[in-house]
Chain A
Amino acid sequence: MSVSALRLREVTKRYPGGVEALRGVSVEIAAGERVAVVGPSGSGKTTMLTVLGTLERATAGHVEVAGQDVVAASDGGLAGLRAHKLGFVFQGFHLQDALTALDNVANGMLYTGAPARVRREAARTALERVGLAHRLAHRPARLSGGERQRVAIARAIAKRPVIVLADEPTGNLDSKSGHEVIALLHELAADGATLVLITHDQSIAETFPRRIVMSDGEIAGDERR
């Protein structure tokens, strides 16, 4: 029996004003699985990712991340979970313009308590793994969109997280660099990390062994290849 990395049971998320973004969602994602989440805008994809990423708490239901019950966890407990076990990749990259690629990646481990020397070493390794060994000292402004997203991916994986959550990571990229980024994510996840990725792009979704289709805050389909 495989261990589950992420587990939602009857999860509801209601925002102030009465909007229900998630309506009784139950899903289980095993450790090492690669999952694409698809669905139209407003279907609750991003909300599900923020709940899985412990950035927001569910209004009702049970949430388990990396084997830990997060419903009862404190702010500090959740932050610790994010610092050590979770890696995020955003559509907007969110790199700091004043810092080099190396420092941006090293900052990904800022809240693990690791000393700067260790973080920089891990950052160097991560940048090599995403194929940017020659761009360590570059600032984001001097990198292409695809390179920036690869720096952001290096930042997410430098600490060797158990789970990587990506929200439309190709949304700001042309289709060629988009597919390169997806290929990179597949390759990195092959090491054993669980990958959950939101996308609009059907051709990207098709590269994933499992696809969850969201609609109106509910799971409308769960396909495996």
Chain B
Amino acid sequence: MTAAAARSRISLRRRRAADASRIPPRELLSVALQGIRTRKLRAFLSALGIAIGIGAMVAVVGVSASSQANLLALIDRLGPNLLTVSPGQTFSGDAAVLPTTAVGSILHMRSVQQASAVYQVSAANVLRTPYVPANETGGIGVDATDPELLAAVSAKLATGRFIDPANQRYPVVVLGAQAAATLQIFRVNARLQVFLGGTWFTVIGILEPVTLDSTLDSTAFIGLPVAARLFQTRPNPSEIYVQAGEGQVTQTAKLLPATADPQQPDGTQIGVPVDALKARAAAAGQFTTLLLGLGAVALLVGAIGIANIMVISVLERRVEIGLRRALGATRHHITLQFLTESALLAALGGIAGLVLGALATLANALGQNEPMVIPTYVLVAAPAAGLAIGVLSGLYPAAKAARLSPTEALRTV
């Protein structure tokens, strides 16, 4: 090929490029926007379907994320470092017994900040009066304990006070929240007594529900000295609550069996109550499949709505399409215009849905007194889902528009 031929070929290509039918992407966008603007009510109604669908899904995700965040915050507040030690089974299969020295030994561990035990008072039950039949215990158990229990399980008093070194020798009782409700006791005063194991005990305090271990809620607590004196309770812990240092839960759990019972470390059971809460939080984070399904149905209906509107729109706009073709639009340009229009419409619907869903999440969070959480991916996913639905539902109408004969503008007067 000669240099002159090469030059002429290049110039030919250039001329072709200059003569091509082209529209800058920005102009295409403004043409699509104009198509939406000139049919406002119709655009609003078709975007509404998408908005409702996306809104429902955002709300489902937001509400479950919020309640999960709430539980996790609760775990954090309670201190995620609680461990429990309880007697398990010995090697031969008998019920194990924790040694009386267990709490003292555990408190000597460097990684332990706090430890407290409860001791089952098996012979006793709690009744409002001696005239209540003795077997109607209402499921209330009696535990002896030490003054440190409250701190060890992050429990709070609803009213009154707890067992302390001064009163633990005397017949006084503190009721768990459920136990108090069962006994119909809501306030404490000096004259209020319950009949516990055949003796009158004065109620000095009521606990709030204990999140970390709900079995404590249906328990009545008395001091260990009075339990030993009146009911011959042995100082072998039925459960020890241990607060490990920050980040030392695993290490502490490993050392606890041998520390609590050096003779029979296999006879101890170590528990991490927070694990159960974490599992609950994880469950709360799972989206309700049914609600998500409903959102998906709403989205599908919205998509069909957009497709329907676009098909009608294409038929109505035959003249406009013909005019654009006469002005030099290619079939491809017409396809793009209608696709852009439906994608924009649905993306706007997606953004509106995001706002609707966020408002629903906020309303729920305010009602439940939870923090409001919307996962960040939702901020991108909601409009993107709208966009994708718009493109999908616009495919057929756009192809139909591109296939229309460009002579319409000439045939219509």
Residues of A within 8 A of B (CB): 46, 49-50, 53, 55-56, 75-76, 79-86, 88, 90-92, 94, 96-99, 107-108, 110-113, 115-116, 167, 171-172
Indicate if B72 sits at the interface (CB-CB under 8 A): no
- Given A94-B319, A110-B31, A111-B333: A49 and B328 within 8 A (CB)? no
Contact status B21-A83, CB under 8 Å: yes
Contact status A111-B329, CB under 8 Å: yes
- Chain A residues with Cβ below 8 Å from B322 are 55
Q: Which of A107, A108, A111 contacts B21 (CB 8 A)?
A: A111
Indicate if B326 sits at the interface (CB-CB under 8 A): yes
Interface centre among A79, A82, A112, A167 (most CB of B within 10 A): A79
What separation, in Å, do the CA atoms of A108 and B409 have in the docked complex? Answer: 14
Closest chain-B Cβ to A213's Cβ sits at a distance in Å of 20
What separation, in Å, do the CA atoms of A91 and B413 have in the docked complex? Answer: 6
- Given A80-B21, A111-B327, A111-B329: A96 and B320 within 8 A (CB)? yes
- Chain A residues with Cβ below 8 Å from B42 are none
- Chain A residues with Cβ below 8 Å from B38 are 97-98
Contact status A115-B328, CB under 8 Å: no
**8 Å CB interface, B307-334 against A:** 319-320, 322-333
Indicate if B23 sits at the interface (CB-CB under 8 A): yes
Known: A46-B411, A55-B407; 9 extra A-B contacts, CB below 8 A, are A80-B19, A81-B19, A82-B328, A83-B20, A83-B328, A94-B320, A111-B329, A112-B21, A113-B24
16 A-B residue contacts at CB 8 Å? Answer: A55-B325, A55-B326, A55-B406, A55-B410, A76-B330, A80-B21, A81-B328, A82-B327, A82-B328, A83-B21, A92-B412, A94-B320, A94-B412, A98-B37, A111-B330, A111-B333
What separation, in Å, do the CA atoms of A49 and B326 have in the docked complex? Answer: 12
Indicate if B405 sits at the interface (CB-CB under 8 A): yes
Q: Which of A79, A116, A171 contacts B325 (CB 8 A)?
A: A79
- Given A46-B410, A79-B330: A94 and B323 within 8 A (CB)? yes
- Chain B residues with Cβ below 8 Å from A110 are 23, 27, 31, 324, 327-329
Indicate if B34 sits at the interface (CB-CB under 8 A): yes
- Given A75-B330, A80-B328, A108-B327: A98 and B410 within 8 A (CB)? no
- Chain A residues with Cβ below 8 Å from B108 are none
What separation, in Å, do the CA atoms of A115 and B27 have in the docked complex? Answer: 8
What separation, in Å, do the CA atoms of A167 and B322 have in the docked complex? Answer: 14
Contact status A76-B410, CB under 8 Å: no
The 9 lowest CB-CB distance pairs between A and B, nearest first, are A83-B328, A113-B22, A111-B328, A79-B21, A79-B330, A80-B21, A82-B328, A83-B21, A80-B20
- Chain B residues with Cβ below 8 Å from A49 are 410
Interface centre among A81, A83, A85 (most CB of B within 10 A): A83
| Chain B, Cβ-Cβ closest to A172 | B413
- Chain A residues with Cβ below 8 Å from B333 are 79, 111
What separation, in Å, do the CA atoms of A88 and B319 have in the docked complex? Answer: 14
Interface centre among A55, A88, A94 (most CB of B within 10 A): A94
Contact status A82-B19, CB under 8 Å: no
What separation, in Å, do the CA atoms of A116 and B28 have in the docked complex? Answer: 12
Closest chain-A Cβ to B27's Cβ sits at a distance in Å of 6
Contact status A75-B326, CB under 8 Å: no
Closest chain-A Cβ to B328's Cβ sits at a distance in Å of 2
Contact status A56-B22, CB under 8 Å: no
| Chain A, Cβ-Cβ closest to B332 | A76
Q: Which of B20, B325, B406, B413 contacts A92 (CB 8 A)?
A: B413
- Chain A residues with Cβ below 8 Å from B406 are 55-56
- Chain B residues with Cβ below 8 Å from A56 are 405-407
Closest chain-B Cβ to A108's Cβ sits at a distance in Å of 6
What separation, in Å, do the CA atoms of A161 and B328 have in the docked complex? Answer: 12
Contact status A112-B328, CB under 8 Å: yes
| Chain B, Cβ-Cβ closest to A50 | B407
- Chain B residues with Cβ below 8 Å from A91 are 413
Interface string of B1-39 (1 = CB under 8 A from A): 000000000000000101111111001000100100110
- Chain B residues with Cβ below 8 Å from A86 are 326, 328
Interface centre among A84, A97, A115 (most CB of B within 10 A): A84
- Chain B residues with Cβ below 8 Å from A97 are 38
Contact status A50-B410, CB under 8 Å: yes
What separation, in Å, do the CA atoms of A73 and B21 have in the docked complex? Answer: 13
Contact status A116-B27, CB under 8 Å: yes
Closest chain-A Cβ to B364's Cβ sits at a distance in Å of 42
- Chain B residues with Cβ below 8 Å from A90 are 323, 409-410
| Chain B, Cβ-Cβ closest to A96 | B320
Q: Which of B19, B23, B24, B409 contacts A94 (CB 8 A)?
A: B409
- Chain A residues with Cβ below 8 Å from B409 are 88, 90, 92, 94
- Chain A residues with Cβ below 8 Å from B324 are 110-111
